[in-house]
Amino acid sequence: MGAERSDVEASIDVLVHYAGWTDKFQPVLGGINPVAAPFLSFSQPEPTGVVGIVAPNAPPLLGLIAELAPAVTAGNTVVAVLSDERPLPGLDLGEVMGIADVPGGVVNLLSGRRAELAPVLASHHAVSAVVNASGDPALTEQIDKLAAESVTRVRHASAATSYETATADPLSRIEALTELKTAWHPVGA
């Protein structure tokens, strides 16, 4: 019971941490770009789109939240494959999402055989990025191959086992799931 409680408490802390980034990552990642011409060039991060997440088996909730929070913070929609061994904490999260202020369809949770679900997710042309925290070398290789066929970006992550590992380098976790839009504008005249 103690391990489950600490998993839930750490997961809540991770969600609060990434909620704090929602209004900060745009000015940090974007900005005005210097150019040697009578133009103004600026970049702004935008969501990648649909992010597929393959959650680790352990810890079942914190491992999922550690990858889900940066994706939602960046404004993406998530389709996540839950832990094979312990999907119930992820399914409980789905019930919480149903009554929370998270808009319907933003977080989609799938339970089932990861070996069957993850390849479909990685090869789907509507998925713009895949975050694989499964720790399964055979599945990792398969995800890389299938994602390459549709030019889907892939980030492999180790399963977060604590608040510290889940929030280590948050900006790079968010940046991996954004795209920079750059615009040029004439200055003066």
Q: Show me where the domains of the chain are located.
A: 2-186
Query: Whole-prediction pTM value?
Result: 0.91
Q: How many C-alpha atoms does 155 have within 13 Å on its Cβ side?
A: 21
pLDDT at 35: 81
Percent residues over pLDDT 70 in the chain: 97
Give the right CATH number for 2-186 from 3.40.50.720, 3.40.605.10, 3.40.50.300, 3.40.190.10: 3.40.605.10
- Given a cut of 60, whether residue 189 has pLDDT beyond it is no
- Given a cut of 80, whether residue 3 has pLDDT beyond it is no
Contact call for residues 15 and 75 (beta carbons, < 8 A): no
Query: Tens of pLDDT along 71-121?
Result: 999 999 999 999 999 999 999 999 999 898 899 999 999 999 999 999 999
The pLDDT confidence band at residue 170, using thresholds 50, 70 and 90, is: very high
Query: Tens of pLDDT along 32-41?
Result: 877 888 888 8
The pLDDT confidence band at residue 185, using thresholds 50, 70 and 90, is: confident
Average pLDDT on 152-159 reads 96
Measure Cα distances from 94 to 5, 61, 144 in Å.
Answer: 18, 11, 28
